[in-house]
Amino acid sequence: MNVNGDEVMEHFKNPKNMGEIADADGVGKAGNPTCGDVITFYVKVDGRGRLKDVKFKTHGCGIAMAISSMISELAKSKTAGEAMRICRDDIVQESRGLPRNDMHCSNLGFLALRRAIEDCLQKSKKGVW
């Protein structure tokens, strides 16, 4: 495995927020057809639109898992709009040296989180929660 950066290694060894939120307000999934990896994000929102809980499940490589763990930590307590804007630069800044050729593995986490938030926003418009 090709992992650089103390922060990424820490999240690889001790991933945060792994699991499922049974009564999630939004669920989003993203997969990479090339490697077959899939990540699912779950979000729970409070009455003011802040993400009060964020979890993820992964059938993916270690880097995708570590990056998803970092994304989940960054997203917690942000508004839905703020969490939608979490990007590669935030992770690169956190990881202090993530190799560019491993960045494609992080795309799954960003995409899955955005889809979970979009799912949440659609449900809120329909008055589901």
Q: Mind telling me the catalytic residues?
A: 35, 105
Choice between 4 and 32, CB closer to ligand FES? 32
Choice between 1 and 22, CB closer to ligand FES? 1
Q: CB atoms < 10 A from the CB of 60, how many?
A: 22
Of 111, 121, 126, 112, the closest CA to residue 45 belongs to 121
76 is written with which tokens?
């917690």
The CB-of-35 to ligand FES minimum distance in angstroms stands at 3
Tell me the residue type at 20. E
Choice between 45 and 112, CB closer to ligand FES? 112
Strand order in the sheet with 38-45: 26-31, 38-45, 51-59
Tell me the residue type at 83. A
The CB-of-74 to ligand FES minimum distance in angstroms stands at 19
The CB-of-60 to ligand FES minimum distance in angstroms stands at 5
Q: Is the dihedral of CA 8, 67, 105, 61 positive or negative?
A: positive
Q: Which residues bind ligand FES (CB under 6 A)?
A: 32, 35, 37, 60-61, 63-64, 105, 108
